[in-house]
Structure 1
Amino acid sequence: MGEHGDSEFAVWSHANVAGVKLEQWLQANRDLNEADLVELFISVRDAAYSIINKKGATYYGIAVALARITKAILDDENAVLPLSVFQEGQYGVENVFIGQPAIVGAHGIVRPVNIPLNDAETQKMQASAKELQAIIDEAWKNPEFQAASKN
């Protein structure tokens, strides 16, 4: 959840394997540990950098995501998808779009899926929102951005 980038985070508190909470599964299956999960998360989070280094851009991934969202809208699927959702106090965050699951139907976002986060995850969501807001604030200082936003 969070920014699609460096400050995104995994919601491990709700992860499960075949219905078994991940924490319990890890205790019973010593093949993986928390360090492995961190490594897995980092490799997924940073995959875009590898793709950009090899192909120059990630537009195919963006196209696939857009096609999936479009299908959910056109077919009125009420599918749960990861999207940028406007925050109106969820997780202590307001007035910024940030990544979280949402139900998508014929008219777009039907409603966000507000996963209960633990304290550490809530702090990560708030930190991610602050990073996004800082990027937005910086963009607004750019005269080219200001001119383009008037059109």
Structure 2
Amino acid sequence: MAEGVESGGAPARAVVVGAGHVGMISAMRLADADVFDEVVLVDVEPGLAAGIALDLTHTGALTGSGTRVRGAVSLEEAGPADYVIITAGKARRPGMSRSDLTATNARIVGDVAGRAAAVSPDVVLVVVTNPLDEMTYQAWRSSGLPAEQVLGMAGLLDAGRFRALAAADGAGAARELGAVALGSHGEEMVIPLSQAPEIAARLDAARLDELVDRTRTSGAEVLGLLKSGSAFFGPGTAAAHMVLAMVADSGTVVSATVRPNGEYGIGDVFVGLPVVLGRRGVRRIVELDLTPEELELLREAAKRIGERIAGLPA
């Protein structure tokens, strides 16, 4: 393997593309975990990634992390990596839907994914850019990487939002509540309550429906409150947690946007499903015992995502 890439021991380098708020949080979480030799922030804006990297470097003495943090203006300058988190793209503004960003961000994500794979042929890509489901497909198509090495982070974030909202409503401590989020990162998000028994037992049906709806629109809720920017703590943390789960190779099941091969009766699309992550990406897709209604909602979400993917620019 090329210098700087994992060779049997601890992963050597993680790269975060896009030094905006989401990228900054992702880089911080990765650096604080102290499992990489180096974390590199990449941004085309001169000085931006280097400035944030220097600021993060200054925190190492306080956090105890020995991870080097560096800024670069290109993937080529960043060097070979085990994992690349893609946050680059135009952010939503109030009144915009995720789909409003499709054409612009497809060009950006396609270019980043292709260059990442050229620099690091064995890399695992974690896509954060919206619209998430379509951009994960675009990253896979443009990179030429095996599907198991290209993931979207949305399910972990959406499940975390649902657990946090349920905890605030009295269902228990968020860290102790189980839930998964499947389908799309948007209107077709599915939270199967059959897989969240503690929450379903502690909150009434009407309130559960309200919390699912609020989870589905949580990004827009944050956007409306901020007025000049979208959510970043949640997305940045979720992306880093996915990478750290792969590094740990612990067999933990998380929700991620992946390409199934017949699981749940779905194929040829990127959709949110429960997966076991390993060092090199998706180890396997987990087939949960969903109710017929939940399975139908998941399949409908996959169908709708497939229709949007068909409209992506070539």
Class of the TM-score when normalised by the shorter of the 2 chains: 0.7 to 0.9
> 1:132 and 2:313 equivalent?
no
- 1:63 has 2:236 as partner: yes
Q: Where does structure 1 differ by over 4 angstroms across 4 or more consecutive aligned residues?
A: none
Separation in 2, partners of 1:73, 1:12: 26
Between the two proteins, what is the percent identity of the paired residues?
A: 27
Say whether 1:72 aligns with 2:245.
Answer: yes
User: How far off is 1:101 after superposition?
Assistant: 1.2
Paired residue for 2:9?
Answer: none
RCO greater where, 1 or 2, for CA within 8 Å and sep 6 or more?
1
Distance 1:77 1:119 in 2: 31
> Take 2:293 and 2:191, find their aligned partners in 1: how far apart are those partners?
11
Asked if 2 retains the 8 angstrom alpha-carbon contact of 1:77 and 1:106, the reply is no
In structure 1, how many angstroms separate the alpha carbons of the residues matched to 2:217 and 2:251?
A: 29
| Structure 2 counterparts to residues 1-151 of structure 1, below 5 A | 1-17=182-198, 22=200, 25=201, 32-55=203-226, 56-140=229-313, 146=314
Q: How many residues align?
A: 131
Counterparts of 1:65 and 1:7 in 2: how far apart (Å)? 20
TM-score under structure 1 length normalisation: 0.78
- Over the residues paired in the alignment, what is the CA RMSD in angstroms? 1.7
Deviation track 1:102-123 (CA, whole Å, cap 9, x = no partner) reads 1112111111111121111111
How many Å separate the matches in 2 of 1:130 and 1:59?
29
Matched to 1:38, the amino acid is D
C-alpha displacement at 1:74, in angstroms? 1.8
Q: Report the Cα distance in structure 1 between the residues aligned to 2:205 and 2:193, rounded to whole angstroms.
A: 10
Kept in 2, the 8 Å contact 1:100–1:112? The answer is yes
Cα distance, 1:48 vs structure 2: 0.5
Structure possessing the higher radius of gyration over alpha carbons: 2
- Equivalence for 2:127: none
Shift of residue 126, structure 1, vs aligned partner: 1.0
- Indicate conservation of the 8 Å contact 1:2/1:125, yes or no: yes
TM superposition shift of 1:60: 3.3
Q: Give the C-alpha shift of residue 59 in structure 1.
A: 3.6
- Structure 1, gaps ≥5 residues long: 27-31, 141-145, 147-151
Cα distance in 2 for partners of 1:14, 1:59 equals 27
The CA deviation at 1:54 is 2.8
Q: Which segments of 5 or more consecutive residues in structure 2 lack a partner in the other structure?
A: 1-181
Q: Is the 8 A contact 2:253 2:275 kept in 1?
A: yes
- Equivalence for 1:29: none
Checking the alignment, whether the CA contact within 8 Å between 1:81 and 1:102 is kept in structure 2 is yes
- Indicate the SS of the match to 1:88: coil
One-letter amino acid of the counterpart of residue 192, structure 2: V
Asked if the contact 1:79/1:105 (under 8 Å) is kept, the reply is no
Relative to structure 1, the CA distance from residue 59 to residue 135 in structure 2 (aligned partners, 3 Å threshold; closer, same or farther) is farther
Structure 1 residue 96, shift from structure 2 partner: 0.8
> Which residue identity lines up with residue 67 of structure 1 in the other structure?
A
Q: Which has the higher strand share?
A: 1
TM-score of the aligned structures, taking structure 2 as reference length: 0.39
